[in-house]
């Protein structure tokens, strides 16, 4: 295992969502990675423990990364850099390459933490790795983290996360570990750990924007950095992508809102809300049935809740 620093508050709780389980007819257990910290909440904190260990080890003064303007990963990186005294440069995708009309949600926290925000349009974002490499060579001692910290290093955060969950499962044998999937390392780490531990638990990534072929390619490229143990498997669905990344339907918002009323937890429409709407859809479809235990991995994303217009479902 690569070097790691401690950023996340671990282990995160693992708890049954009693009222949600009763309402949806399947036993739903929540892995609370929304509680990895406040500013550092979510799945990215786990990946950053490995990336920032490597950055410090390399003697970097600056960390450069990228994402959408409401990126949880960029927010978590900005907060972690503030904690560690590292300069943070963010390449942030906006529709027109200019600053967003409102400084809210994750972007507010990126700014409060002192990150240098460089806004780019989707065309420039397609060349993000090139742009970050250029910036790194002009800084000199920079550490570049790819989108979502989803590479062979970031993946270790979720290998460790699954080991953590395995200790919490006791005798429970879930019918699936359901989670929001986008840049791929969460799914990759979970699948790798499940295989290493010899557990027979389906790891199911619910795409929040990409077609399954693209998501699968991303996961494969992440796992290819380690020796692939035999029996490494994951399942993906893109049935709940709807209008695409960062677009949620009124039905999806309604499911996320209902789940908040039944759990007291926040589900943002870009990631966990959309994934939860997917889980609800699979229960309705009969993929999960009464008597099944299902783990919903809450990957965080709470701050983006504030960047959404919830008025259609507020009543």
Ligand X SMILES: Cc1ncc(COP(=O)(O)O)c(C=O)c1O
Given the rule CB under 6 A, which of 135-143, 251-259, 277-285, 295-303 is the region that contacts ligand X?
295-303
Q: Does 271 bind ligand X (CB under 6 A)?
A: yes
Burial of 200 by CB count in 10 Å (0-12 exposed, 13-18 middle, 19+ buried)? exposed
Specify the residue, 23 or 237, whose C-beta has the smaller distance to ligand X: 237
Partnered with residue 28 across adjacent β-strands are 294
CB atoms under 10 Å from CB of 71, counted, come to 27
Question: What is the distance, to the nearest Å, from the Cα of residue 246 to the centroid of all Cα atoms in its chain?
Answer: 13
Q: Does 207 bind ligand X (CB under 6 A)?
A: no
Q: Does 299 bind ligand X (CB under 6 A)?
A: yes
What Å distances lie between residue 192 and 141, 155, 189, 234, 247, CA to CA? 32, 9, 5, 9, 30
Specify the residue, 34 or 258, whose C-beta has the smaller distance to ligand X: 34
CB of residue 187 to ligand X, shortest distance in Å: 6
Given the rule CB under 6 A, which of 51-59, 96-104, 254-262, 297-305 is the region that contacts ligand X?
297-305
Q: Is 27 annotated as catalytic? A: no
**184, 269, 273, 278: which one contacts ligand X (CB under 6 A)?**
184
CB of residue 156 to ligand X, shortest distance in Å: 12
What gap in Å lies between CA 269 and CA 272, rounded to an integer?
7
Closest CA to 283 of 233, 232, 240, 234: 240
Q: Does 237 bind ligand X (CB under 6 A)?
A: no
Handedness of CA 158, 173, 241, 269 (dihedral sign): negative
Question: What is the distance, to the nearest Å, from the Cα of residue 51 to the centroid of all Cα atoms in its chain?
Answer: 15
Given the rule CB under 6 A, which of 5-13, 90-98, 180-188, 228-236 is the region that contacts ligand X?
180-188
Binding-site ranges for ligand X (CB under 6 A): 42-43, 72-73, 148, 150, 180-187, 271-272, 299-301
Active site amino acids: 71
């Amino acid at each position: 295992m690569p070097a790691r620093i401690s950023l996340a508050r671990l282990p995160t709780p693992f708890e049954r969502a009693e009222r949600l389980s009763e309402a949806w007819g399947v036993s739903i257990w929540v892995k609370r990675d929304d509680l990895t910290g406040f500013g550092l909440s979510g799945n990215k904190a786990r990946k950053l423990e490995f990336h920032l260990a490597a950055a410090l080890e390399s003697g970097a003064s600056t960390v450069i990364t990228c994402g959408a303007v409401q990126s949880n990963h960029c927010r978590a990186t900005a907060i972690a850099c503030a904690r560690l005294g590292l300069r943070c440069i963010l390449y942030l995708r906006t529709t027109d390459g200019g600053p967003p009309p409102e400084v809210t949600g994750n972007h507010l926290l990126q700014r409060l933490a002192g990150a240098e925000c460089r806004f780019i349009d989707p065309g420039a974002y397609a060349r993000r790795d090139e742009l970050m490499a250029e910036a790194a060579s002009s800084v000199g001692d920079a550490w570049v983290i790819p989108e979502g910290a989803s590479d062979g290093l970031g993946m270790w955060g979720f290998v460790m996360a699954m080991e953590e969950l395995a200790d919490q499962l006791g005798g429970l044998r879930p019918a699936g570990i359901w989670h929001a999937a986008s840049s791929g390392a969460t799914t990759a780490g979970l699948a790798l750990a499940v295989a290493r531990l010899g557990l027979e638990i389906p790891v199911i990534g619910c795409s929040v924007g990409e077609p399954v072929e693209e998501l699968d390619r991303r996961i494969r490229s992440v796992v290819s950095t380690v020796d692939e143990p035999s029996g490494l498997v994951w399942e993906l669905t893109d049935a709940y992508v709807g209008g695409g990344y960062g677009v949620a339907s009124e039905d999806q918002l309604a499911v996320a809102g209902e789940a908040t009323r039944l759990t007291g937890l926040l589900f943002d429409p870009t990631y966990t809300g959309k994934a939860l709407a997917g889980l609800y859809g699979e229960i309705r479809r009969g993929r999960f049935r009464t008597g099944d235990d299902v783990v919903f991995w809450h990957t965080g994303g709470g701050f983006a809740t504030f960047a959404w217009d919830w008025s259609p479902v507020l009543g």
